[in-house]
Chains A and B, each alone.
Chain A
Amino acid sequence: MNWTSAAPAVSAAFLGSMVEAVEALTIVLAVASVRGWRAAGLGALSGLALLAVIVLALGPLLNHVPLHPLQFLIGILLLLFGMRWLRKAILRAAGLIPLHDETKAFAQETEQLRDQARRHEARLDWVAGLASFKAVLLEGIEVVFIVLAVGAGHGLLVPASIGALAACLLVVAIGFVLHRPLARVPENTLKFVVGVMLSAFGVFWTGEGLGVVWPGEDLAIVAFAVLFLVIALLAVTLARRQNAAALP
């Protein structure tokens, strides 16, 4: 294993998965606070089970896809996914859109479930379990995508999976101890960093898929990440200035 490419892959998987796990935990905790741990736990476990089935069914197929088309496809998906995260993180850092607030998300989800409880008391366990299931499944799919995207091209699936699993276990452990959403996690900073890293991986894999031999080989990922970081910080500064100038 080459640590030059493994370190960015493992850290991208760890940080990206931490963001997703925090978001899923908020909804599972909201469900648990309204309807108890049975509905929340069953929903979350069902989501995890379906996720495992998807990974086990699709994982082996990756071995049958030729390397260059796989790198090209994953590279494009990484660019779409990573640059979308980075754009949103830039706009949040510039104060143009509000920061993601886990406490607010928790309150909204709880209120929504209580409202549903008033209307459909009889099948509330279903509704609550489904909310928990959906949160774990959808955030889990993002985790799986990040792991596949940063790990599949260079045989780094195992280290990237370990990074993602460590992040999820850490968030779940802290969530169980605190019993409230992890509002103090600097989510936008994490999204900013992960957006930069995923965009850098995206350029690298798309280029490799096109047959580009990057100068410095794997070290090029680090150089791309630095460039994306510089441009993103520049965008934050310019967007802030533009916003300040537009105010009366």
Chain B
Amino acid sequence: MNLFTTALRELIGLFIDDGWLAAAILGVVAVAAITASFISGGRLAAGAILLCGLLAVLLVNALAAARR
């Protein structure tokens, strides 16, 4: 049971280390998904939101971590 819990925790840790970063990534993906689904002709705009949003998240998160 202990091994299973450890393995599960390590598996989740592969994807989520800094909660702020994970939440921001999922937030950008959600905005892009809404744009692609509900705005007519919004698929390319969704792509732009995804790319620019994630680049911004990376920069802001790294600098915030550096400040901490």
Contacts and interface: CB of A to CB of B under 8 A. Distances in A.
Interface of A: 76-77, 79-81, 83-84, 86-88, 90-91, 94, 96, 130, 134, 137-138, 141-142, 145, 199, 202-203, 206-207, 210-214, 224, 227-228, 231-232, 234-235, 238-239, 242-243
A15 B57 CA distance: 25
Contact of B14 (A142, A231, A242): A142
Given A79-B29, A94-B66, A203-B54, A231 B59 contact: yes
B1 interface: no
Given A203-B50, A207-B50, A243-B66, A77 B15 contact: yes
A80 B61 CA distance: 13
A195 B57 CA distance: 15
A206 B22 contact: no
24 contacts: A80-B15, A83-B57, A84-B15, A87-B17, A90-B58, A91-B62, A96-B66, A138-B7, A141-B14, A199-B54, A202-B54, A203-B50, A206-B50, A207-B50, A210-B33, A210-B46, A210-B50, A211-B36, A212-B50, A231-B58, A231-B59, A235-B59, A235-B63, A242-B67
A77 B18 CA distance: 14
B49 to A, nearest CB: 10
Given A84-B17, A211-B43, 8 more contacts: A76-B26, A84-B16, A84-B21, A87-B21, A210-B43, A214-B47, A234-B59, A239-B62
Interface residues of B, number: 36
Closest 9 CB pairs of A and B: A239-B66, A212-B47, A80-B15, A235-B62, A210-B36, A90-B62, A207-B47, A84-B17, A231-B55
Q: Give chain B's interface secondary structure class.
A: helix
A13 to B, nearest CB: 16
A123 B64 CA distance: 46
Interface in B1-32: 3, 6-7, 10-11, 14-18, 21-22, 25-26, 29, 32
A87 B46 contact: no
A213 B50 CA distance: 13
A212 B46 contact: yes
A213 B16 contact: no
A242 B63 CA distance: 8
A224 B21 contact: no
A199 B59 CA distance: 13
B45 to A, nearest CB: 9
